[in-house]
Structure 1
């Protein structure tokens, strides 16, 4: 099955038409590159000049779509023109075919054509000079250089500039894409960080409010209701203050507002005392040296979220918080009674466990939360190992 030739490019069609009309004009006024008495003219008469002219114009239609084919048949047409009285436009169109073969052809063709035409130019100058021993013989090489090597070299220069411009454009696009990916990743990471901070700051207060409001509504005891309302007010005021502080930082586009100081392990006592106020029986045991701020923040938030989960889900009993530093690792352990309950005392989304795991992973630490047996019975244990120095990431088995 024959493969149809591709449709010529509109510019190529215009070039072919212009060349054909120009050649016909020169032919019409009787101008030729050689006289009728030239010994090279083997095909006499004016009409034979038109055959290579029309053939060369047809080759111009292929200068972009099939540049190698166009150059091959254009060479044959130029050879045919050489045995006639000749037409200057036929030669000019051939130079354009050489140029197009280098610019639009495959890379191999673009490399070979300048070398071939360069060798032809050298041989065209050296061989006739060696045979005839007259300086005028060099003009043959000059003519070949003008007709073949010059357009090939010009095409090679243009192609190199075009390829360099295309490479620069691709590099710019890749750089912009990488910058956009970096920006997206930075925004995603910042949103995740803000989500963790917002959850850890507010969830504890809202959980206490939900639990104590339920107690105030379900128990017909004025003293119990008063105590519950007191706890509700304290937690709502503290939660509102933290929310306002966080929202103010987010809205401050000038960066004049200073962010609230990050909590440290020195604040664990107050955190545990607040949990006791909310109704948990909590014990705290810590043994550690001064730690880097990111480690202290992560440990504080993990303990805070664990106490919040214990407030919502734990069975009645003692909650223990233990922090111990050993071998360059801070071990965090929070246990709470685990047993069958009708349901949580406050709704949860599961984001707390995700946030704790992310905090440990960001420090190269390990995290696990699961029910296990202990000397005090079935407990829910939250374990985190936070390296004081960089350590490989992973989860506790």
Structure 2
């Protein structure tokens, strides 16, 4: 899957802003732009408040540069920055300098602190700044410049408080949205990994079913060929011919399975096997010395159900060849009210305890196939001897095939 498709979500600039790598970089450009804006805006504000506030002097400009310059550390030390900008802003206002863009520096520091998860620090800094402004505007103004200043109206304090709360609320909203985007990215990545795991499991199960059956036939015929090589060369030749045919078929099916790993959207080169290939299974089983009797007939199935049913029968017959002393098996197919397909595979036993090179995952693979379709598998010894595999699969009539 495309990496960009997994990690997408939210504006690209926001994702980069929130990355840990960005926190390790210095935000020079934005800090310089903010500093220039604050200085220019404060000069303009000073001209508008000539008779109301103190004139901008060197100390005022130093405070403005310090307040804006602190933003250079906002990604590395957000708590220090939010309290530092609050202190610089408070000194600026306490000295009677004009109201203006100095509040922008504190707003950005507060925003950075909340985005970094330091909510308490941001709210505390806001509370201290507002408290300091109230003290200056209603009590300390008598001893602070400019001379002849009067107490501010309490209505203006409400505006200041509302402004501060709006900044914090906006930062909280932005952080919430950012966390939501992060969760969405994580969920998409997890879904992509889950889909990849499902594909790998399906491939492993398919390869197991393809190879286990063919290799079991090859194993049996190889034993026959070795046993009869000297006493009955013609029969040994027949066994080798069967081995050649089984290996050719296995190679073809493996190639078909591996074709699914090609570029998405490519059509399979050959149709997936289904119950219409049961006669081939019967012939292969016969070449391994197993007689198979087919009872009943399945209806037309959807491709997924058809493939699962075929692989279940194939694996069950493979297990008979490997582990049963019986040379006769029965496959019974039935369907109930066009809603359920029932597959029953019986052999008369007894179990030989022999191992024909299997992996031991056959029954687990059958159960996974059935469960993927919402069906069930029951497997175990019968009361009268032998072994039975019973598969119940939801039946889907082949309408959109």
Q: Same fold (TM over 0.5)?
A: yes
Q: Which whole-Å CA distance do the structure 1 matches of 2:375 and 2:217 have between them?
A: 30
The verdict on how the C-alpha distance between 1:193 and 1:233 changes in structure 2, with shifts beyond 3 A counting, is: same
The verdict on how the C-alpha distance between 1:158 and 1:282 changes in structure 2, with shifts beyond 3 A counting, is: same
Matched positions, count: 304
Counterparts of 1:258-337 in structure 2, within 5 Å, are: 258-327=268-337, 328-337=339-348
The verdict on how the C-alpha distance between 1:110 and 1:239 changes in structure 2, with shifts beyond 3 A counting, is: same
Residue 253 (str. 1) matches residue 253 (str. 2):
no
Residue 244 of structure 1, CA deviation: 2.7
**Deviations 1:144-188, CA, capped at 9 Å, x for gaps:** 72xx44543333232223222222221121111001111011011
Contact 1:357–1:367 (8 Å) recurs in 2: yes
Q: Which runs of 5+ in 1 are unaligned?
A: 1-32, 35-62, 82-86, 125-138, 391-397
Counterparts of 1:164-243 in structure 2, within 5 Å, are: 164-219=173-228, 220=230, 221-243=232-254
The verdict on how the C-alpha distance between 1:289 and 1:240 changes in structure 2, with shifts beyond 3 A counting, is: closer
Contact 1:117–1:149 (8 Å) recurs in 2: no
**Corresponding residue number in structure 1 for 2:392:** 385
Residue 379 of structure 1, CA deviation: 0.8
Aligned-residue CA RMSD in angstroms? 4.5
The verdict on how the C-alpha distance between 1:356 and 1:259 changes in structure 2, with shifts beyond 3 A counting, is: farther
Contact 1:196–1:355 (8 Å) recurs in 2: yes
Contact 1:101–1:109 (8 Å) recurs in 2: no
Counterparts of 1:15-30 in structure 2, within 5 Å, are: none
**Deviations 1:102-150, CA, capped at 9 Å, x for gaps:** 87764987998999999x89xx8xxxxxxxxxxxxxx6444872xx445
The verdict on how the C-alpha distance between 1:165 and 1:259 changes in structure 2, with shifts beyond 3 A counting, is: farther
The verdict on how the C-alpha distance between 1:165 and 1:296 changes in structure 2, with shifts beyond 3 A counting, is: same
Q: Which whole-Å CA distance do the structure 2 matches of 1:254 and 1:316 have between them?
A: 44
Contact 1:262–1:297 (8 Å) recurs in 2: yes
Contact 1:102–1:156 (8 Å) recurs in 2: no
Contact 1:338–1:380 (8 Å) recurs in 2: yes
**Deviations 1:352-381, CA, capped at 9 Å, x for gaps:** 11110011111111111111223xxx1111
Contact 2:325–2:350 (8 Å) recurs in 1: yes
The verdict on how the C-alpha distance between 1:255 and 1:274 changes in structure 2, with shifts beyond 3 A counting, is: same
Counterparts of 1:355-370 in structure 2, within 5 Å, are: 355-370=365-380
Contact 2:212–2:358 (8 Å) recurs in 1: no
TM-score by length of 1: 0.62
Q: Which runs of 5+ in 2 are unaligned?
A: 1-52, 55-77, 114-118, 139-149
Work out which of the two has the higher radius of gyration on C-alpha atoms and give 1 or 2: 1
Residue 351 of structure 1, CA deviation: 1.6
Q: Which whole-Å CA distance do the structure 1 matches of 2:285 and 2:107 have between them?
A: 84
Contact 1:368–1:384 (8 Å) recurs in 2: yes
Residue 192 of structure 1, CA deviation: 1.2
TM-score by length of 2: 0.62
Residue 324 of structure 1, CA deviation: 0.9
The verdict on how the C-alpha distance between 1:311 and 1:340 changes in structure 2, with shifts beyond 3 A counting, is: closer
